[in-house]
Amino acid sequence: MVLNVGFYNFVSSSKILALVRSDSAPMRRVVQEARKGGTLIDATQGRKTKSVVFLDGGFAVASALSQETLARRLGGKEQQPLAGTPEEDAIVKREQVEADSERPTTGD
């Protein structure tokens, strides 16, 4: 079985070790090191990295989809679109709106 990590990019589910949020400073450092070391597969299509999929063999996949979305897809709870453009854009936009609504507002 394969996991659609977004925008026509697929990963073999048997190779997945972990699905991790990428918004912490330590995870951003891990992504930078993987990029420098040549072990990062960037599947974001230029969008913000929201999660990282760690694979056996030492590779990591950067995804523009949240780890919750990827976990639902991996668990079979969400239909995985085979083609990415409209569906993936809609998911990314929805997740961005959700993330924006969770951010605390400043009292400027």
- Cβ-contact 52, 63 below 8 angstroms: yes
Considering the domain boundaries, does residue 107 fall inside one?
Answer: no
pLDDT tens-digit series, residues 59-81: 999 999 999 999 988 987 665 55
Q: What pLDDT score does 83 carry?
A: 46
Q: What pLDDT score does 2 carry?
A: 92
Considering the domain boundaries, does residue 74 fall inside one?
Answer: yes
Q: What pLDDT score does 41 carry?
A: 98
Count structural domains, the chain.
1
Is the model more confident about 55 or about 80? 55
Q: What is the rounded average pLDDT of the residues 78-98? A: 64
Q: What is the rounded average pLDDT of the residues 2-12? A: 93
- Domain containing 80 equals 2-102
Is the model more confident about 67 or about 94? 67
Considering the domain boundaries, does residue 108 fall inside one?
Answer: no
52: nearest Cα among 77, 28, 22, 9: 22
